Amino acid sequence: MTADSDLWLPLAATPPRRWRVSFGSVAAAGRLFRRAYGEMTDLVLPPACPVCRARLGSAGGLCADCWQGVRFLERPWCERLGTPLPIDLGPGILSAAAVADPPAFARARSAVSYEGPVPDLVHAFKYADRTDLAPMLGAWMARAAHELVADADMLVPVPLHWGRLAHRRFNQAALLAQQVGRLTGVPVATRLLLRTRRTPQQVGLGRDERARNMRGAFVVPASKTAALAGRRPILIDDVLTTGATLEAATRALLDAGAAAVDVLTLARVVAPS
């Protein structure tokens, strides 16, 4: 009974002395309840595709039709921005955009293009409590990150402002970073980068407006700069749109002493070629 408190049922026929409830038994009861509740909600709400709501055999994935619509980003791509290139001109090739307007980050990589079922998938993950998708999405990202991982010291999720965090209850970037960290072995640093102010929603803003909106939105606390000095973090976020958020976060890390910053997102907006 003491060997595995997980299996011990607190409502057994011979309970411990009255009022003497150990923390172990309370925790075990909580786990049992959550397990039973999870099975119950599976019966009431069978697992569904987060995009088209087709029924699935198990939670945490996509149906076959939606899966076919996901466009994974592959080489040839711009070594700097990670955007697909129409033809393969060999290693180290940069896109015109990367040459004309080089970003502060060294390299960006994204798992999938933000098109087809992906916008609905991201929406379900962020706003519809489909955190069960995190392992699948994290695996996609870890696959896209293999070049970056070799040089990385830590994963830094882009933080949410605390007001938004309270509203949404979790930071989707931190959840993705945890999954990538689990698969790659790179440690996750969640308190290294802070959001100094609540920025207005970026939806509907142009590139310059987004950059202005985000300037100075992040800071590394003085107590954390020693942990960052000379290191190479990977910033983690869900979607790269214009890159304004990741640009501002990169500048904060570089200002605090990071040697270089790479960027990894689940999805990115890819201009039609």
C-alpha dist (Å) from residue 23 to 19, 32, 162, 192 = 12, 14, 31, 33
Instruction: Please choose, from the candidates 106, 267, 256, the residue with its C-alpha nearest in 3D space to the C-alpha of residue 193.
Output: 256
Task: Report the distance separating Cα 154 and Cα 231, nearest Å.
Answer: 8
From 63, 104, 136, 260, residue interacting with Zn ion (rule: CB under 5 A): 63
Pick the binder of Zn ion from 21, 52, 89, 128 (CB under 5 A).
52
Which one of 41-49, 75-83, 95-103, 194-202 is the stretch in contact with Zn ion (CB under 5 A)?
A: 41-49
Question: Rounded distance, CA 241 to CA 214, Å?
Answer: 13
Residue closer to Zn ion by CB (options 56, 260) is 56
Q: How far is the CB of 194 from Zn ion (least distance, A)?
A: 37
Q: Is 51 among the residues that bind Zn ion (CB under 5 A)?
A: yes
Compare residues 49 and 236 and give the one whose CB is closer to Zn ion.
49
Backbone angles phi, psi at 206, to 5 degrees: -80, 180
DSSP helix/strand/coil, 135: helix
Contact partners, residue 45, CB within 8 Å, separation at least 6: none
**187-200 burial by CB neighbour count: b if 16+ within 10 A, else e?**
ebbeebbebeeebe
As a whole number of angstroms, the distance between CA 46 and CA 27 comes to 27
Question: In terms of CB distance, is 62 or 252 closer to Zn ion?
Answer: 62
Stretch that binds Zn ion, among 29-37, 40-48, 57-65, 164-172 (CB under 5 A): 57-65
Q: Given candidates 25, 28, 66, 241, which one binds Zn ion under the rule CB under 5 A?
A: 66
Q: Please state the closest distance from residue 120 (CB atom) to Zn ion, in A.
A: 9
59 binds Zn ion (CB under 5 A): no
C-beta closer to Zn ion: residue 49 or 106: 49
How big is the site for Zn ion, counted in residues (CB under 5 A)? 6
For Zn ion, which is the closer residue by CB, 27 or 52? 52
Please give the residues from 120 up to 179 whose contact with Zn ion meets the rule CB under 5 A: none
Query: According to CB under 5 A, which one of 49, 124, 134, 248 is a site residue for Zn ion?
Result: 49
- Closest by CA position to 133, among listed 169, 168, 179, 167: 179
Cα-to-chain-centroid distance, residue 83: 19
User: Is residue 118 a contact residue for Zn ion (CB under 5 A)?
Assistant: no
Applying CB under 5 A, the residues found at the interface with Zn ion are: 49, 51-52, 54, 63, 66
